[in-house]
Amino acid sequence: MRLAVTRRLRATFPRGDAGMSPFCGGRVTRLHRQRPRDWVTLPRMTAKETTSIEMAPSELGQTLSAMRLCAPEVQQQMQLSLSTLGQLTPVQAYQEGDCVELFDGLKRVRAACELSWPKLRVEVHTLDSAGAKVRLLRCNAGAGLSELEEAWLVRSLYREDQLTQPQISVLLGRHKSWVCRRLTLAEELSDELTASVRLGLVSATAAVELGRLQRCNQDTAARVVARRGLTTRQTTRLVDGLLAAPQEEKWPSLEAASLPVPPAGKGGAPRRTPGEQLVADAWAMKGLTARLHARLLERSLQSLGDAACAVVSRELGELKLSLLALTRTLDSRLTTPGGTRVSND
């Protein structure tokens, strides 16, 4: 017996209702092919003209840097790379009135300012503000922006460039639900928590977890995370516990945890014996020497640059003298009065 496969018909769109948009649900008809009258033209995504120029790093605008996070160690690595290899690729910018605004190459520009470089190679694209922000996202597609940086970018497109969420989803190539989640994240974070993230007191991933709390409770929880140095996983467990606890129990304990820890009294942990102190120092020295040995074998001192090579050579020379003195002391202490050497097996 052959069964007929049928489908349930959806309610058709009320064509006679002129007050409703043909894009607000209902069955897909020919009306969806028509562009509504209030449709806003999307920003330019392809630069028709690209100009290569040289500019001083201090003359480049950094308005879009508010949407980026930069760890100090990453900035130091970029400065070392720039001093060693030079500028390999030009930074990307766009014209905004009389100012040239940067949208890719922020770490290189800051490193060039620290190195007092007079000029940088810049490619100026014919883009508007919204197009530059989208290009910022795509230029960092390899390394990837953090979830919080994506949220700041989406909020800027929504608030400053007056784009709707469907338009943002089309520009970024993401689903509308993704745009809505990022926009909600940026809008729900408190100002103090956002400042803590920019200062490096709270990580971006931990801030995303803290965003699940109400704005009035985020600052207290953020102080606990920063004071106790909680990881993202520990922050997740903290937020889950706060959301699951009764209302009258969770916040008093959180307020107490956010207070500064009083200094420990003199009757704390027992002091180490002289033997324990020698063992701890020996373990620390072995770890440091192994790490220093690996770094010296990784690259030559000349690859650091003339200025850095001079400083490192001076410090390593002083370290060599200290190690020679330590070696003589170890030889004297590891030898018994009878002339026999202490075994280290």
Name the more confident of 328 and 33.
328
State the average pLDDT over residues 103-131: 89
Written as one letter, the residue type at 278 is L
Contact 149, 62 (CB under 8 A): no
pLDDT one-digit tens code per residue, 22-43: 444 444 444 444 444 444 455 5
Residues 6+ apart with CB under 8 A from 226: 196, 201, 202
Residue found by looking up tokens 């770890």 in the block:
287
Q: Show me where the domains of the chain are located.
A: 41-144, 146-188, 191-258
Q: Does domain 41-144 have CATH number 3.90.1530.10?
A: yes
- Chain centroid to Cα 187, Å, comes to 18
Residue 186 pLDDT more than 70?
A: yes
pLDDT one-digit tens code per residue, 105-118: 888 998 998 888 88
Reported pTM: 0.60
Residue 211 pLDDT more than 80?
A: yes
State the average pLDDT over residues 154-173: 92
- For residue 56, which of 107, 100, 89, 104 has the smallest C-alpha distance? 100
Q: What backbone phi and psi angles, to 5 degrees, belong to 195?
A: -65, -35
Q: Which helix (H) or strand (E) holds 252?
A: helix 247-258
Q: Looking at residue 83, what is its pLDDT?
A: 86
Q: What are the strands, taking DSSP E only, across 49-201? A: 50-55, 91-96, 99-104, 120-125
Burial environment of residue 198 by CB neighbours within 10 A (0 to 12, 13 to 18, 19 or more): middle
Domain 146-188, CATH: 1.10.10
Task: Count CB atoms within 10 A of the CB of residue 342.
Answer: 8
Name the more confident of 233 and 343.
233
pLDDT one-digit tens code per residue, 260-301: 655 545 555 677 788 888 888 888 888 888 888 888 887 888
